[in-house]
Amino acid sequence: MTENKTTKPQGWIKIHRDLADHWCASDPNFLAVWFRLLSEANFKTKKSLINSATVEIKRGQLIFGLNAFSSRSGVSVSKLRRIMKVLEDENMIDRQKTNKFSIISIVSYNKYQDEDRQNAVKQHSNDIQNTTPKEVNNSKKDNKSIIKRKSSYPNDFIPNKNNAETYWKQKSRSDLNYEDQVIKFTSHCKANGKQFVCWQSAWTTWYGNAVSFSTAPKEKELTTIEKARIYANGK
C-alpha cells in the first residue's frame, strides 16, 4: 500500500493513569503501538489525499499501512500484525480495509481524548500567566504534602480481574486461577511487609510473572511406598 505524505499531528494527547493498570501496559510492544495509534489519530475530521483520491478521515481515525507504521513505531511487522489483531479482538480498534489502504478507528476515542482539551490548555495558560510569585511558592509547599508515598496492603484493595484473565488468555494459560493468584499475592505482600505506591501496578507485575512462575518445575511428591523405602534404608 502506498501512503500519502501527511502532516505530523500537532499538539499533545492525554494519557490516563489507569493505563498503568491496563493489560497492554505489561507488554512494551503493545504499549508502543497503542501510544502511536492515539498520537496519529485525527483530533478533528479532515480530508486527506491518498493515491490521488480525496478521503475523509474522521475524528479518532488514521490511515494505516503495516510497513510504514512498523517503521514509525519500532515494532516488527510480524509483531505488529499480531498486536493489531488482538486490539481488534478486544474491541479497542476497528479496521476498514480497501484495495489501496486501511483506515483504523480508535473505539471510544472521545473517552481518551475529550474535545474540551483545547479550552483546558488555554485556561491553564491563562492561570499560569495570572499566578503571582507568592501563589507559586504556596503551590510548591502544597505539592510536597500531596506526594504519593508507599503504603502497606490496603484493606479495600481489589486486584483487577479482567486484565489478569485477558493477559493469561493471550499467553494460553487459562489454567491460572484469579482467586488463587489473589490469595497468593495478598499473602506474599502481607507476610513480607510489602509497600507500593500503586497496588494495581504491583498486581499487574504479579499476574504477569505468574505465567513464568507457574511453568517452573515442581518437586515430585513421594508416594507412601517410596517414603517407606527411604525410611527403611535410613535405619
In the chain the domains, ranked by start, together with CATH numbers, are 17-112 (1.10.10.10), 146-235 (no CATH)
At 60, the amino acid letter reads G
If you average pLDDT over every residue of the chain, what do you get?
Answer: 75
Report the predicted TM-score, pTM, of the whole model to 2 decimal places: 0.43
C-alpha span between 2 and 50 (Å, rounded): 8
Contacts of 55 (CB under 8 A, 6+ apart): 47, 48, 49, 63, 101, 103
Question: How would you class 181 by CB atoms within 10 Å of its CB: exposed for 0-12, middle for 13-18, buried for 19 or more?
Answer: buried
Using an 8 Å Cβ cutoff, are 151 and 195 in contact? yes
Average pLDDT score over residue span 177-191: 89
Length of the chain (residues): 235
User: Taking 70 as the threshold, does the pLDDT of residue 114 lie above it?
Assistant: no
DSSP-based three-state secondary structure for 51: coil
User: Taking 50 as the threshold, does the pLDDT of residue 125 lie above it?
Assistant: yes
User: Taking 80 as the threshold, does the pLDDT of residue 32 lie above it?
Assistant: yes
